[in-house]
């Protein structure tokens, strides 16, 4: 008995995903987002480099963690994570590793970062209530907003896991009015990042 002929090779999962993302405009959305964000990122990085030449930011932050009481460091971190989150959280994770109960303080940092991001979301919502911003978004960014709402989860996941400001991702999610329950869900990956970084940094200390 002759074996049954094999069916025509079907596209594997990766190819199907690639086709779907290409068809729905995901790649163009990511590329346009990168192009729009790149000038601001360059300006921020250049500003930090210039300031750091005349004033050691890293040393100042280390001195800050050594001078302030624990609750002061946590409060400072919370404000940072709520307002743009430019200060790297790794510095505070290293600080928690030197505390009497490092995992307890790391837990505080993780929760504060997560809650700070959720507050940032509502700051983004508030920005859209500014009449000029609202009118601009409704009249000139209708297509971009539709795509952003479709891929808003990707934006939150990137901000939660990668070394990018989580606060900025959440503000952007608020501006495009991405569902808050999804921000809460996807943003919870921020807690995972702190656990991973804690394991790496604590072992290196």
Model confidence pLDDT, tens digit, residues 41-58: 566 556 656 655 666 656
pLDDT of 171 reads 83
- Please say if the pLDDT value at position 121 is more than 70: yes
Residue 2 included in any domain:
no
Kindly report which listed range (1-5, 67-71, 196-200) carries the lowest average pLDDT score: 1-5
Percent of the chain whose pLDDT exceeds 90 = 16
**What's the total number of domains in the chain?**
1
Residue 104 included in any domain:
yes
Kindly report which listed range (50-64, 79-93, 102-116) carries the lowest average pLDDT score: 50-64
Q: Which residue has the higher pLDDT, 75 or 86?
A: 75
Residue 50 included in any domain:
yes
Query: What would the pLDDT profile of 10-20 be if each residue is shown by its tens digit?
Result: 457 667 656 66
- Please say if the pLDDT value at position 113 is more than 70: yes
pLDDT of 7 reads 47
Percent of the chain whose pLDDT exceeds 70 = 60
Kindly report which listed range (35-49, 66-80, 81-95) carries the lowest average pLDDT score: 35-49
- Please say if the pLDDT value at position 198 is more than 80: yes
Residue 48 included in any domain:
yes
Rounded Cα gap, residues 178 and 129, in angstroms:
15
pLDDT of 205 reads 54
Residue 33 included in any domain:
no
- Please say if the pLDDT value at position 107 is more than 60: yes
CA angle (179 as vertex; 174, 182 as ends), nearest 5: 110
Q: Does the global pTM surpass 0.75?
A: no
Query: What would the pLDDT profile of 139-166 be if each residue is shown by its tens digit?
Result: 555 555 566 666 677 778 887 887 777 8
Q: What is the pLDDT averaged over residues 12-31?
A: 64
Residue 35 included in any domain:
no
Residue 10 included in any domain:
no
Structural domain containing residue 92? 42-204
Residue 91 included in any domain:
yes
């Amino acid at each position: 008995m002759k074996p049954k002929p094999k069916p025509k090779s079907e596209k594997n999962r990766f190819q199907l995903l690639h086709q779907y993302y290409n068809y729905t405009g995901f790649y163009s959305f990511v590329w346009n987002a990168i192009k729009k964000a790149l000038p601001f990122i360059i300006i921020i990085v250049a500003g930090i480099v210039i300031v750091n030449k005349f004033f050691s930011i890293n040393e100042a932050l280390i001195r800050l963690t050594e001078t302030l009481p624990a609750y002061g460091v946590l409060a400072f971190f919370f404000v940072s994570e709520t307002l743009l989150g430019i200060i790297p959280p790794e510095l505070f994770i290293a600080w928690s590793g030197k505390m009497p109960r490092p995992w307890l303080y790391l837990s505080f940092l993780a929760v504060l970062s997560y809650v700070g991001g959720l507050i940032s979301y509502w700051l983004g919502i508030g920005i859209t209530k500014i009449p000029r911003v609202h009118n601009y978004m409704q009249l000139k960014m209708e297509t971009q907003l539709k795509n952003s709402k479709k891929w808003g989860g990707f934006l939150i996941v990137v901000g939660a896991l990668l070394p990018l400001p989580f606060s900025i991702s959440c503000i952007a999610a608020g501006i495009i009015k991405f569902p808050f329950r999804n921000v809460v869900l996807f943003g919870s990956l921020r807690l995972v990042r702190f656990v991973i970084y804690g394991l790496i940094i604590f072992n290196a200390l």
